[in-house]
Amino acid sequence: MLTAAEAAAHLGVKLGTLYAYVSRGWLKSYRRKVGRQALYRRTDIEALRGLTAPERGVRARALPEASSWVTIAQPTADASVSGVIVAESGVSSISEGRLAYRGYPIEELVGQASFEEVCLLLWNGERPRPEEVEHLRENIARARLPKPVAAALAAIGEDAPPLLRLALMMPALAAGEHRLPRRARLDQARLIIGALPLAMTLAPGAEAGAARDGGAGMAARLLERVAGASAPADRAALDRVLVACAEHELNASTFAARVVASTGADLYACVLAALCSLSGPIHGGACDRIEHMFGELAAGLEIERGLESFRERGLLPPGFGHAIYPAGDPRAVLLKRVAQATAPRKGRALYQTALKVERAVWERTRLKPNLDFYLTVCVRMLGLPQGMPAAIFAIGRAAGWIAHSLEQYANNRLIRPRMRYRGSPLRHWT
C-alpha cells in the first residue's frame, strides 16, 4: 500500500490530480482502520501509470494488464445494470432515470426544439443561432443524390430494406468525394444528414429533387419522400419522434461509431459502423419485432395469446423493459403523448391496440414500454410503410453518432480494449 504522496510521486502527478482520478472512478482509495489517511494499492497505481505516463517519449500502452481492469473502469451506480464506465462525454447524460442532451432535459427538447436544432446542439455543444438552424434545414430540403449513391441504391433495388439502403449510402457518399477536396467534418455532417432521407424509396407521386414548399427540414423531407405528403401536424409529430431518437449515451451503435472515429476514419465510416450494428437483432431489431406483433394482432391474434407465446419461448414482449430505466423509459412517455395527439387524425385503431398491449403487459410482467414501442406506433400511425420505424430511429440517432464521433476526434485516443484469456494454457507446436 502507498500513501497519497507516494502514489502521486509514482504517477508523476500532483495530489489534486490523484484525487481527481479517485473521483472519476479510475482509482480506488482505502482507509486505515485507525486514522483517516487514504492508502492506494501499488498494483492499481502501476496499472494507472500504464494509462497516463508516456514512456521514452512514446505513448504508453493503451490498457493495463487484464487483472487490473477493475481498478480503471468505474462501475455503474445501479448494481443491477451490467457494464462499466469506459469514457467521459459531454454529449448526453442519463442520471436517476432522466435523459438530457448537453444538459437540456429530454422533456424540454421534445416538442420545443426541432430536430435541426438538436443536431446542431449535439454537434457544437450550445444552442444554435436561428440562422444556423435555417441553413441546416435548407441543406436538408435541397439535398440531391450524388451519382455514385444513386447508382448504388439502384443496384440493390427499391425493395431493399430501409436500413440496408441507409448503410449502403455511406461508402457511396465517401466514394463520391474520393477525388474532391476534403470537406471539413461539420460539412460532412451536414451532407450526411441531408442525404439520409434520400435513401428511402420514393412514394408514388413524390418528388425526387428538392423538397416542395410544404416545409423545410428532416421531418418534411421524409414525409414528402416516403408518404408523398407533408401535413403540418404530421411534420410536427415526426419531428418529435426524431428528437426523442437523436441521442442516448454510449449504446452499442454509438460505441461502434466512437471506436471507428478513434482510428481517424471519416464520418462516413463512423456512421456506417453504427448502422451496421443495427443490423443485428439484439440492438436494432426491436422495431421490426414490434411491427410483426402488431401485424399478427391485426390479423386476428388475441393479445393474451400473443403474450403467452412470448412467455412460452422465454422472451419479453418486444418494446417493453429497459435496463437503464427500471421505472420506465421517459422517451416512451413523450412519444405516447405524440401518438395520443395523432390518433384523432389518423391511426386511431393502432393507438387503441397499443394501449391494450401496454395494459396487458403491465398486468402480466409489470414492465413499461420503451422508446422502440411508441416509436413504432407513431411512425406507423403517420402512414409510413413497414420497415420505416427502424429507419427513422437510425436517421434520428445519426445526429448523436456524429456528435460522439466529433467529440472523439477532438480529444482522441485509440480505443483498444483488452480481453481476459480463458483458453488452453501455453503449449508448443513441436
Q: Tell me 227's DSSP state.
A: I
Of 239, 322, 329, 404, the active-site residue reads 322
332 contacts: CB under 8 Å, gap ≥ 6: 368, 369, 370, 371, 373, 374
Burial 84-101 (b: 16+ CB within 10 A, else e): eeeeeeebbeeeeeebbb
Residue 203 and residue 227 in contact, taking contact as beta carbons nearer than 8 Å: yes
* Torsion 260-262-265-270 (CA) sign: positive
Map residue 295 onto helix, strand or coil: helix
Of 44, 288, 372, 404, the active-site residue reads 372
Residue 247 and residue 399 in contact, taking contact as beta carbons nearer than 8 Å: yes
131 contacts: CB under 8 Å, gap ≥ 6: none
Bridge-based pairing state of the strands 74-75 and 92-95: unpaired
Residue 21 and residue 38 in contact, taking contact as beta carbons nearer than 8 Å: no
Burial 1-32 (b: 16+ CB within 10 A, else e): ebebeebbebbebeeeebbebeeeebbebeee
Q: Which among 213, 197, 181 is positioned nearest to 145, based on CA atoms?
A: 197
86 contacts: CB under 8 Å, gap ≥ 6: 73, 250, 417
Residue 322 annotated among the catalytic residues of the structure:
yes
Residue 178 annotated among the catalytic residues of the structure:
no
Residue 246 and residue 116 in contact, taking contact as beta carbons nearer than 8 Å: no
Q: How many CA atoms lie within 13 A of 44 on its CB side?
A: 23
Residue 196 and residue 219 in contact, taking contact as beta carbons nearer than 8 Å: no
**Residue 251, C-alpha cell as written in the block:** 449504446
298 contacts: CB under 8 Å, gap ≥ 6: 353
The helix (H) or strand (E) run that includes residue 354 is: helix 348-365
Please give the single-letter amino acid code of residue 382. L
Rounded to 10 degrees, the C-alpha dihedral 61/67/73/77 comes to 180
Which are the catalytic amino acids?
A: 322, 372
